[in-house]
Structure 1
Amino acid sequence: MSQRETEGLQHLGSQGTQYPTDYAPEMLESFVNKHQENDYWVRFNCPEFTSLCPITGQPDFAEIRISYIPDVKMVESKSLKLYLFSFRNHGDFHEDCVNVIMKDLIRLMDPKYIEVTGLFTPRGGISIYPYANYGKPGTRYAELAAYRLQQHDL
């Protein structure tokens, strides 16, 4: 990336990384998609996600999978890592974490399409795998979201 392309990115290349101690959506940063004329998938696998149970305070562990079709903006990966780290001391149910992550990324990027899955490890003998998705309203991506939600986990 050229200096112009990385202008405004605070976390990428920083040697003095400050890790947030609580939920920090302000950590998210974006850059311009250089291939806006193409539809393509970007996928992040985040196997070390942790958050806290809002009732017991016990840690929850998950792999968070984020897949999206970018439009004008894309999420910068180090900022995403720091953002996801910010859930470490944050109390939320599994379903809330997945939906909050998706909504924060929609606010940041306004992607054509996005889906977020949380593969949470079992607690009390039950594992929970919440899934949320979104497609831009009035576009074929909204139809894609409806289709993938309907076909999810079949």
Structure 2
Amino acid sequence: MFSELFYPRQAVLVSASSSEKTNLTAVEYFMPVSEKPPVVALSLHNTSLTLDLICTSMEFVVAIPSEGLNEAVLLCGTTSGKYIDKFAEARLTPMRAKRVSAPLVLEAYANLECKVLSYNSSGDHTVVVGEVLEIHPPKEEREGEPLLFNLGGKRLFGFKQH
């Protein structure tokens, strides 16, 4: 009930890598923290494989999905990367980043390469704060708008600017 009070929220995908594993997960606890320098924060469940990879590598990518990626976001948010390759299962294309080892998501509206500034356990989640090292902005030919997320009801929807 508590988290449902805050719906809808923006949906993002977060990728992280170590030498042995790459994972991609959907995150609804996400926010920009600062513009100068650009800093973001996200909160991941303490049992998350992606959190383990972030704490090992101290870097991650935030991919802003557009409304055409609804099914991929739901898959990434409801399955464990411990047993499957989420990029393959979600039919998403990992792309080499410029400054971090975690992959970008080719199909995303935009991608942010981040290095961890801090992380802090807060109850059953850990808050990760990251400085944005590189921004891969939307390309004009991208279709769709960023997603809003209501995983509690398993609904995702885009929004249009008027």
Larger relative contact order (C-alpha < 8 A, sep ≥ 6)? 2
- Does TM, normalized by the shorter one, top 0.5? no
The structure in which a higher percent of residues are strand is 2
The structure in which a higher percent of residues are helix is 1
* Structure index of larger Rg: 1
